[in-house]
Amino acid sequence: MKILNILTKIDRRIIFLLIFFGVAFPLLVTINFKLGVTKNVRKVYNMIEETPENSTVVISYDYGPSTKPEIQPMAIALLNHAFRKKLRVICVALWPMGVQMCNEALETALQYFPDLKYGKDYVNMGYKAGGMVTINHMAKNFRSTFPTDEGGTPIDEFPILNGINNFNKIAFIIGLSAGDPGIKQWVQVAHDSYGKPVAGGSTAVQVPFLMPYVNEQQQLTGLIGGLKGAAEYEKLINLPGFATKGMDAQSIAHLIIIMFIVIGNIGFFASKKQKN
Amino acid sequence: MIYIMERIGVWVGAILTFAILSFLYKDNPFYKIAEQIFIGISAGYWFIYTIYNILIPNLFTPVLTDFSNNRLLLLPAFLGFLMLCRLLPKIDWVSRYPISFVMGTTAGMSLILFLRSDIIKQTSETMMNPFSAPDLAATIGQLILIIGTLTGIIYFFFSKKHEGVFGTTARVGIYFLMVSFGAAFGYTIMARISLLIGRLNFLLGDWLGIIKP
């Protein structure tokens, strides 16, 4: 019964410490747990794969530094895939810090594509406040929504934006989001109002709320969820990065948490039985 | 010089990370200091960011360079100015006008979008013939979707006492809700662990240089 008492009274700091070391260890020593690819992530991959070369696409950076570890790996992987397929990428941001996130992702992705030119193959339009109103306005008049890029250069100077007046010549939109405004608004306006294919990449916390949009009507074509989704995407494009490395740590941490949930439950039921 | 400044930045980041993490042991002055620094810097940063990235490009520059085509911008600017009247107790009631404008337009836009995307489209998604699915797994999945949706909605119907067949159906709905809470909890753990991985990657990589960041 002494063990029972210990099990029900484990100091939470011991759990924190174990998780800390459980996460740190796999970062130091590679384990390489097996990772499968889920249907929703493959759908995003297929969408890019099936888009004709030289098509123009929009990637929206609707997150900030607080969720960077989760979303930045998928942003880099998606840019790599889009550039590999010779797609032209227009970056926008519904979150102020999304601009910085976009620049960092571009910097990393462009290491593999040094020949790509700013303004011709990709452009960063910067941040625009307004959420769903901005998306709606973008769909009606892209040029007046973003008269300049993030550096203040008029958009007429960028060949990538020739003929882009609304969403008509945009092949698809990918929203990378950590909250509101984000994927939900892109679905509501860009897909449901203007019929544009929309895919998403989100934090794990958001996945249960966004999953219903991945349906037969393809409100969301596909969804990359959290670090695991990013790791799956890295596997699909055969470019292991931060997410792949992080999944070992993620798995160990989950094992530790599951172990403590089981221990806690054993302690709880045993003490209940003892009382009875 | 740039390298030295970068290293100082990394050290400050590492010290503040430990100060924040120290809260896991117990509340302490280091945590409090880090928390106050974070709040202060965030407030200052957003203030400057709003001026340079929202007010200047979206209001001041268009109005000052091409007034005749942008004079309409003075209207939202005026509403924004009225919002600041909250700071003056004698005329703080004026700020209710811009607030009511924002509430009205947001409610009007959201109503249509939510009705279409979250009610009509989501409801029609459950109107299907599960037996026309291509395989057995899909049929079972679609049946679970229909049963889960119906029983879940019945659970939230409180105009009739939950007893008898109605109560049993509502109870099935609770089980579906519990599964969804469990999934949400699992995803939340995954998200929080991802943030810890990000911090440890910074500490072990950028700060200590033990691993490649």
Does A30 contact chain B (CB < 8 Å)?
A: no
Distance from CA of B2 to the nearest CA of A (A): 18
Strand order in the sheet with A122-127: A122-127, A88-93, A56-62, A170-177, A198-202, A223-225
Q: What is the ipTM of this complex?
A: 0.89
Question: What rounded mean pLDDT belongs to chain B?
Answer: 92
Does B201 contact chain A (CB < 8 Å)?
A: yes
Distance from CA of B54 to the nearest CA of A (A): 7
Does A188 contact chain B (CB < 8 Å)?
A: yes
Under an 8 A CB cutoff, do A188 and B180 touch? no
Radius of gyration of chain B (CA): 27
Distance from CA of B90 to the nearest CA of A (A): 31
- Distance in angstroms (rounded) separating the CA atoms of residues A162 and A154: 12
Q: B88: Cβ–Cβ under 8 A, 6 or more apart, which residues?
A: none
- Distance in angstroms (rounded) separating the CA atoms of residues B79 and A225: 39
pTM as predicted: 0.90
Counting Cα atoms < 13 Å in the Cβ hemisphere of A12 gives 4
- Lookup result for tokens 């790509």: A116
**Residue B187 pLDDT greater than 80, yes or no:** yes
CATH no. of A39-240? 3.40.50
- Distance in angstroms (rounded) separating the CA atoms of residues B172 and B150: 10
Under an 8 A CB cutoff, do B116 and A208 touch? no
Under an 8 A CB cutoff, do B193 and A148 touch? no
Does A212 contact chain B (CB < 8 Å)?
A: yes
Under an 8 A CB cutoff, do A204 and B122 touch? no
User: What pLDDT, in 10s, does the model give residues B92-137?
Assistant: 999 999 999 999 998 998 999 999 999 999 999 888 888 888 889 9
Under an 8 A CB cutoff, do B187 and A204 touch? yes
pLDDT in tens, chain A (276 residues): 677 777 777 888 999 999 999 999 999 998 888 899 999 999 999 999 999 999 999 999 999 999 999 999 999 999 999 999 999 999 999 998 999 999 999 999 999 999 999 999 999 999 998 899 999 999 999 999 998 999 889 999 999 999 999 999 999 999 999 999 999 999 999 999 999 999 999 999 999 999 999 998 999 999 999 999 999 999 999 999 999 999 999 999 999 999 999 988 888 888 888 887
